[in-house]
Structure 1
Amino acid sequence: MKMKHDNLYQIYLMTQCLHRLHASRLEASSTMLGFILLFLSTFSPFTSGHASIWHPSMYGFNVTDKTFSYDNRPVTPLMDMTFDQWWFHNHLDYPPNDGDIFELRAGQPATTEIACNKGATSYFASSEGGDIRNGDDVCPGSPPSEYHTTGLSDVKGCALAIAYKSNARDVQPEDFTVFSVNQTCVWTRFTDFHVPERMPTCPDGGCICAFFWIHSPDSGGEQNYMNGFKCNVTDSTSNVALAKPQVPRRCGADPDFGRLTADPGNCTYGAKQPFYWFQKERNNMFEGTYAPPFYLDLYNFKDGAQDDIFVDSYGDIPTPSPNSTVVPTPLVHPTSSGSATSGAPTSGSTATFPLGGAPKSPAVCNLRCTSAYTQRLLGLNVFGRGQKSFSLWHPF
């Protein structure tokens, strides 16, 4: 009799276990379905995610999702593309109108507008959806995950670069020099990029500039953002040329990968190229999927104006190496506001808030799977890396 009762009890336990397993699978299936729908929604041409600078001086300022055979709006991310597709966002055939030039005042901040949709900027009149502005909000009505961040601590910085050529078709990747970085970008619609005081004047016809951004891997895929625009340096007090830009090197503290202190001897000093990463052609960065390059101290990009990018910024720059302990010292050149130097990277970010104070943190939508079982069920953690996009918008 006891054995019979034991068998019945075992059958009861097995039944309960199967019931719970079935319920957990239904829950997991429901969770997976929700993630799938969210994942697929990111491919909609009308998604509000991603970001770009916006300004009439942009190439592709009026490009919509219908202009190309694929979605090539300025906010659409660039990855795994041919050179012609990713370079200038394939917008060279859509130049700005004559006279639309973004002014860069030497020694002053250049205020850009960055948004997920032109309608969220001062240039809403030429957008398809009209005025959807909401103060300093990058993506009105959407959580920060739409512009690839889980919060202010997860932003990875943006850069402006310049080429001293007046014809965009003459510009090559090696011609661009990063002259300003904002380490809290993308976070606010109005974003300041400080211009070095010693920036020389542009040639007749102006210069060619571009906005660059690579976001955190915590809230999106392996995506690059580039938007070119016509620019011109004004109020210049120097005729010293920019040095030839070199490829940046990963040399700052990197705790996510076990490096707790910076390696200053391995840094690139002086003029640096932007990051060209995760494309089919013409990459200058070869970091893996989960270790993207950022415009932070990690690559010796200080927050603000890059004041050491000129041919006379250093007397000599030693070849960087993981084993080197030699750090070059910038030469001091008098300016009206004193000289600024770019030193070795620090263990933490030097970011400042361009509008004078930290913006209020909105609610965070974290898409990463927290259940190990769910991650195994999905096979790949692709849903924490949704294909969202972002672009810089401003009347350059």
Structure 2
Amino acid sequence: MFTTIPLLLWLIAPVNAHISIFTPAMWGYNVSFDTFPYDNRPVAPLADYTFEQWWFHGHLGYPPNPGDFFDLPAGKPATAELACNKGATSYCSSADGDLCFGKDNYPCPGSPISQFHTNGLEDLKGCALAITYESDVNKVQPENFTVFSVNHTCVWYEQTDFQVPARMPPCPEGGCICAWFWIHSEDSGGEQNYMNGFRCNITGSVSNVALAPAQVPRRCGADPQRGVMEATPGNCTYGAKQPFYWFQKERNNMFEGTYSPPFYLDLYNFKNGSQDDIFVDSYTSIPPPSPTQTEVPTPINHPVPQPSQTKRAKRKSVERTARESGVLGTVFKSLFSIRATYSRDVF
């Protein structure tokens, strides 16, 4: 027993390199080493690829089963599973092995941290979840995704929490489409991107405020490693931001060099946690960003509607519609009066 397990880990470790989110709601959930003529498992990195190859990891032909969604509770954390192998997650079974060794919350059982491209906690560069309010994946374009949550300690833990903004509106019929994005430290491997798409759904929504159009992030934070000792807040992108699309043959929105990759950190004004300023009413105005811009916008602090307030607003809206409908309005008004008498605790 004590000799078999280390041998098994040694045999599996070479194919465990890199990392991915894993959920049955993802495209490519069952893609294995043999599915494509090249290694296109969900954990495989994306670099110097055509758009068809890197977009949704080239897995659009391997959709999730109908009804599989990753739930995103508004105002609460959503726990994602990140691993070098699906066998290290709670889903366990994998073509690369049936490990189930992830009890210590380590994403790559039997492998060193170099397998997920880091030299330690201080070398982590964060990862992000992005969303588009479109249920038809064939209509989604890179510009449609908005980053709504960032975790700066990603990818250190197998179970990683992503805080969901409290004001996220509900998804349309058929749900939303989300994606996980990660770019690792430049001193821990080559120029690589990671993207895995999945179906998602906002639960417990109490707001109908739409997301603002996402803009391209801008490098604006301090970067002592490259001699930039102070941040340039006026050069930041504020509000809704797109994910990074970098180092591919097509459709890049970032053009940083080999040793200056973009990261989901303060360096690009990605705060740790929920991105609460991504809505159309988050700012009264945003000045054009530039290295010489001195005006920095302040987000508006909107109170989050309580569920009881939301129910009351819906009832008033229905009552108003009923009043405007003439004769039927009298009937609806009577019904609402009767219901209000006996259901005050609800309304």
Report the TM range for the smaller structure's normalisation: 0.7 to 0.9
2:122 aligned with 1:153: yes
Q: Which amino acid aligns with 1:63?
A: V
In structure 2, the CA distance between the partners of 1:251 and 1:176, relative to structure 1 (3 Å rule), is same
> Which residue is equivalent to 1:311?
280
Alignment of 1:186-225 (within 5 A): 186-225=155-194
> Which residue is equivalent to 2:141?
172
Select 1:94's aligned residue among 56, 62, 82.
62
Task: State the Cα distance separating 1:128 from its structure 2 match.
Answer: 4.0
Task: State the Cα distance separating 1:200 from its structure 2 match.
Answer: 0.2
Find the aligned partners of 1:221 and 1:316 in 2 and give their Cα distance: 39
Percent of aligned pairs sharing the same letter: 69
> Which residue is equivalent to 2:5?
none
Find the aligned partners of 1:194 and 1:134 in 2 and give their Cα distance: 22
Tell me how many residue pairs correspond in the alignment.
294
The one of the two structures with greater contact order (alpha-carbon pairs below 8 A, sep at least 6) is: 1
Select 2:220's aligned residue among 224, 227, 251.
251
Please list every run of 5 or more consecutive structure 2 residues that lacks an aligned counterpart in the other structure: 1-11, 307-347
Kept in 2: contact 1:253–1:260 (CA 8 A): yes
Kept in 2: contact 1:182–1:304 (CA 8 A): yes
| Secondary structure in 1 matching 2:72 | strand
Q: Which amino acid aligns with 1:280?
A: K
> Which residue is equivalent to 2:38?
70
Find the aligned partners of 1:218 and 1:139 in 2 and give their Cα distance: 19
In structure 2, the CA distance between the partners of 1:211 and 1:84, relative to structure 1 (3 Å rule), is same
Runs of 4+ in 1 over 6 A off after TM superposition: none
Q: Which amino acid aligns with 2:45?
A: P
Kept in 2: contact 1:45–1:71 (CA 8 A): no
Task: State the Cα distance separating 1:127 from its structure 2 match.
Answer: 4.0
Give the CA RMSD over aligned residues.
Answer: 1.3
2:270 aligned with 1:301: yes
Find the aligned partners of 1:45 and 1:97 in 2 and give their Cα distance: 29
Find the aligned partners of 1:189 and 1:125 in 2 and give their Cα distance: 16
2:241 aligned with 1:272: yes
| Secondary structure in 1 matching 2:15 | coil
Please list every run of 5 or more consecutive structure 1 residues that lacks an aligned counterpart in the other structure: 1-43, 338-396
> Which residue is equivalent to 1:262?
231
| Secondary structure in 2 matching 1:125 | coil
Kept in 2: contact 1:152–1:187 (CA 8 A): yes
2:197 aligned with 1:228: yes
Kept in 2: contact 1:198–1:237 (CA 8 A): yes
1:199-247: CA deviations, max 9, x gaps?
A: 0001100000000000001110000000000000010000000000000
Task: State the Cα distance separating 1:45 from its structure 2 match.
Answer: 10
Find the aligned partners of 2:252 and 2:210 in 1 and give their Cα distance: 26
Moved more, 271-280 or 47-56: 47-56
| Secondary structure in 2 matching 1:71 | coil
TM-score in terms of structure 1 length? 0.73
Alignment of 1:109-188 (within 5 A): 109-135=77-103, 136-188=105-157
| Secondary structure in 1 matching 2:131 | strand
Greater radius of gyration (CA): 1
Q: Which amino acid aligns with 1:330?
A: P
Task: State the Cα distance separating 1:132 from its structure 2 match.
Answer: 3.7
Task: State the Cα distance separating 1:84 from its structure 2 match.
Answer: 0.3
Task: State the Cα distance separating 1:100 from its structure 2 match.
Answer: 0.8
2:72 aligned with 1:108: no
Find the aligned partners of 1:128 and 1:77 in 2 and give their Cα distance: 17
